[in-house]
Each structure stands twice: as C-alpha cells, then as structure tokens.
Amino acid sequence: MYYPKGATNAVENHLWGMLWKWSENCCLHPNLYFCNERVGNWSTVRQLQQTVLEKADRFPHLAAIWPSGNDGQIDSKLAKLVLKELEIFCGQVSEQSGLFLADVNKGVDTYSYIESYDGVFFFDGKTGMNTGFDCNGLFVIDRETGEEYFRSMHFVQEELPDELSKSPDGDSYTIQPSLLTDIATGHSCRINMKHDNNAG
C-alpha cells in the first residue's frame, strides 16, 4: 500500500484501517480469501528445522537447506533430492516428541521448545523481558542482564485488564497483560502477554 508523501503514522494507520474494513466485504469471498491455509511463521520453521536436524543422518539434503531470511533458492537437482527426503520424512513423522509447555487442565500443548530461540516465545520490547520455557519450567528473564524474575514448573495465569500505551512516536496500542503465579510457592510475576491457555 502506498501512503501520501509525508503521512504520519496516525494517518497511515487510519488508511490501513479503512483498507482493511473495505477488504472484509468488497467481493464474494469474505476478507478476499478464496481459500486460506496457514503455512507457519519463523517459529514454525525453526521447530521443523530442529526436528529434521535431529534426524540429519537420514535426511542430509533436507537438513542442509534451512533459510536464515525471507529469500533464497536451491538448485533444481538438489530440490529433487530434498522433495524425496521430505516425502519420506512426512510419512515417518506421525507424532512429534520433544519439550512442550502444556495446559494440564485441557490436556493440550501450547508451545513447543525451540532450541535456536533458547525456549523463548515472547520478546517484550517495552519492558525488555523475555518469556520462555525449558526443562526446568517456564521463566521470565531480563533480556540484557539475564536476571530471572520468575520460574515455575506449574503455574496459573490470571488475565489482567487490557491497558492502553503509547509508542515513542505517539501512536496508541493495547497491551494485554497477565499475572503468572507459581502454584507451589505463590510467587507472582506480571508479563505483557496472555498465553493461549490458562495453566502450564
């Protein structure tokens, strides 16, 4: 989308909102989607990469092609080998094993441990706090100092009321905070996000 020359962030946000609203019903297909299939984001890429690398001896070509950015290509001869390995990989991987953050009440996994991110799944740009997990439980640490503010193997999340905040350039945005409380100790820590599920 092209914005008028000299447009402020507020004007750009307003125009983007108008375009988004228009796109919801501008054709026969809601939100302009004839079909929609989610492929994944960088976390999904790293999770799949981690699984493939654990079996690199069986899938050497597939293990060697992982991107580090939003570009790149592979040679057509290599692509043929990679696709063959991918077909075998997909046929053999019916259930993923690994380390997961789980909602014990619902019996579902909420996050997978991604080694290249050291288990971190939320980087809070406002406070500099990282939230993640490893084999010793969920943690909240200071990104710069490494100081640990929270650690729990079993915790409860309480959703707090949404808060309005402002960016350095004056734009408003919403923070959705929550309070994490360790069940064993009662120690609590506030973070600026809400997990998909309420307990870990």
Q: Tens digit of pLDDT for each residue in 34-47?
A: 877 777 778 778 87
Q: What stretches in the chain show pLDDT beneath 50?
A: 197-200
Identify the helix (H) or strand (E) that includes residue 92: helix 76-92
pLDDT at site 100? 79
pLDDT at site 144? 92
pLDDT at site 97? 63
Q: How far is CA 54 from CA 51, 83, 96, 114, 121, in A?
A: 5, 18, 12, 13, 21
Predicted structure pTM score: 0.54
pLDDT at site 154? 92
State how far the Cα of 62 lies from the Cα of 18, in Å rounded to an integer.
Answer: 43
State how far the Cα of 120 lies from the Cα of 113, in Å rounded to an integer.
Answer: 8
Best CA proximity match to 195, nearest among 163, 159, 161, 162: 159
Instruction: Show the tokens assigned to 34.
Output: 């004839």
pLDDT at site 61? 93
Instruction: Show the tokens assigned to 76.
Output: 């057509």
Residue 3, sorted as left (phi over 0), alpha (psi -120 to 50) or beta, turns out to be beta
pLDDT at site 58? 87
